[in-house]
Amino acid sequence: MTHSLTMPRPDDWHLHLRDGAVLHGVLPETARHFARAIIMPNLVPPVVTLADATAYHARIMAALPKGTTFEPLMVLYLTEGTDPADVAAAAASGLVKAVKLYPAGATTNSNSGVRDFDKVRPVLEKMAEIGLPLCVHGEVTAPEVDIFDREAVFIDSVLDPLRRATPGLRVVMEHITTMQGVAYARSAGDDLAATITTHHLILNRNHILAGGIKPHYYCLPVAKRETHRLALRAAATSGEARFFLGTDSAPHVDALKEHACGCAGCFTATNTMALLAHVFEEEGALDKLEHFAARNGPGFYRLPVNEATITLTKGEPAKWPDKILTEAGPVTVFNPGFPVHWHVDC
Ligand code: NCD
Ligand code: ZN
């Protein structure tokens, strides 16, 4: 039995850091284990231009604890008014590594997202030309589509037509939650990849809804039935280059989670690597963890694998704080509901 595992320092290819007091509270949780992260731009107002991304990058760097090395990889929020020339300049600057597509209304702070895909065609064509990835929140928002079907419907009605209309566009299907997402990610060449979160490897929809509603397990896309969770586990632990970690760690203070209209998001930055070691061990695939968390992502984003390493060791039951205390209020750390015995040494 393996009790210790050394691997390149991981990266998180989908992370919400927020701003202000929450940023200060949660950033150390990610920077402790991760070398880099793709930083989601769904602030209020969103990070739309290179100037916005440059200013947000500076705020993140200013919030980093002294002596920590962490590289935020910035992302622009695609709007119907996005200027292709600004996107090209952002990519050329080296600061911005992707553009994010939120269908309008799909999730937290997505009102500035795209309604009419024809309006963003020039931006997508420019991105295909320069090789800048498009990160896609893959859910339709039509009220008549059942929330558990929104990802599968999006793939057929939006994503596939969009990719066919824009040959060469490099796309990351973010936080896939279904076997249809896994199958579609496998249907194309190396211009298509998919991220998978830690919590979607652990939760199915019963965990959210059976035996009392669990607001801290509610996220978007919402966890689906067990067959989908098993398909995600098989994909994540396969070692295939197209699947990599995007935690979608999405902090909201408890007052907004434990609420009559609770916010979507699971906060997993603190314990993700321990949880992943547990999951990969359960699947008999500990040797694939470094592919999922440290190698496949840089491969897709055409960046070097981190030279620094972390070591995971198995021992006593792991402990982490129930909550991260920020000046905006406490943020509950994801509780998997089972004991975990893995520890991270940096
Ligand atoms: C994210 C957030 O809170 O910003 N929430 C979530 O449930 N994942 C938005 C998102 O990534 O959909
Ligand atoms: Zn997200």
In this structure, which amino acid lies at residue 235? A
How much of the chain, in percent, has pLDDT values that exceed 90?
94
Dist. CA 250 → ligand 2 center (Å): 6
Residue 27 has pLDDT above 80, yes or no: yes
Number of domains in the chain: 1
- In the chain, at which residue ranges do the beta strands (DSSP E only) sit? 4-8, 11-15, 36-39, 71-77, 96-101, 134-136, 171-173, 192-196, 243-245, 309-314, 323-326, 329-332, 342-345
CATH of the domain at 89: 3.20.20.140
Q: Using alpha carbons only, what angle is made at residue 270 by residues 172 and 46, rounded to the nearest 5 degrees?
A: 45
Which atom from ligand 1 is nearest to the alpha carbon of 220?
7
Residue 8 has pLDDT above 80, yes or no: yes
Contacts of residue 312, defined as CB under 8 A and 6 or more positions apart, other chains included, come to 4, 5, 6, 7, 273, 274, 277, 289, 342, 343, 344, 345
d(CA 96, CA 107): 22
Dist. CA 248 → ligand 2 center (Å): 4
Angle between the 84-93 and 121-130 helix axes, to the nearest 10 degrees? 30
Query: In the annotation, is 248 catalytic?
Result: yes
Which atom from ligand 1 is nearest to the alpha carbon of 266?
7
Is 110 or 119 the better-scoring residue by pLDDT?
119
Nearest CA to ligand 1 atom 6: 265
pLDDT in tens, 57-73: 999 999 999 999 999 99
Distance of CA 150 to the CA centre of its chain: 18
Average pLDDT over residues 252-268: 98
pLDDT band at 107 (very low <50, low <70, confident <90, very high): confident
pLDDT in tens, 155-170: 999 999 999 999 999 9
d(CA 159, CA 138): 8
pLDDT in tens, 290-324: 999 999 999 999 999 999 999 999 999 999 999 99
In sequence order, which ranges of 68-159 are alpha helices (DSSP H)?
84-93, 121-130, 150-154
Please give the pLDDT value at position 253: 98
Q: Is 130 helix (H, G, I), strand (E, B) or coil?
A: helix
Average pLDDT over residues 99-125: 90
pLDDT band at 251 (very low <50, low <70, confident <90, very high): very high
Residue 130 has pLDDT above 80, yes or no: yes
Please give the pLDDT value at position 346: 80
In the set 19, 118, 248, 345, the catalytic residue is 248
Query: Read out DSSP for 217-272?
Result: G--SSPP--HHHHHHHHHHHTT--TTEEE---B----HHHHSSTTPPP----TTTH
Whether the bond between 221 and the residue before it is cis, its omega within 30 degrees of 0, is yes
Domain that holds residue 77: 4-345
Dist. CA 89 → ligand 1 center (Å): 27
Pocket of ligand 1, beta carbon within 6 A: 16, 42, 107-108, 137, 219-220, 248, 250, 264-265
Which atom from ligand 1 is nearest to the alpha carbon of 265?
7
Q: Which ligand is nearest to the CA of 150?
A: 1
Q: Which ligand is nearest to the CA of 267?
A: 1
DSSP state of 103: B
Dist. CA 211 → ligand 2 center (Å): 27
Please give the pLDDT value at position 1: 62
Mean pLDDT of the chain: 97
pLDDT band at 2 (very low <50, low <70, confident <90, very high): low
d(CA 322, CA 84): 44
Dist. CA 299 → ligand 1 center (Å): 25
Average pLDDT over residues 111-121: 90
pLDDT in tens, 274-290: 999 999 999 999 999 99
CB 61 within 8 A of CB 84: no
Average pLDDT over residues 27-33: 98
Residue to substitute in 23, 39, 77, 107 for testing ligand 1 pocket (most ligand atoms within 8 angstroms of CB): 107
Nearest CA to ligand 1 atom 9: 108
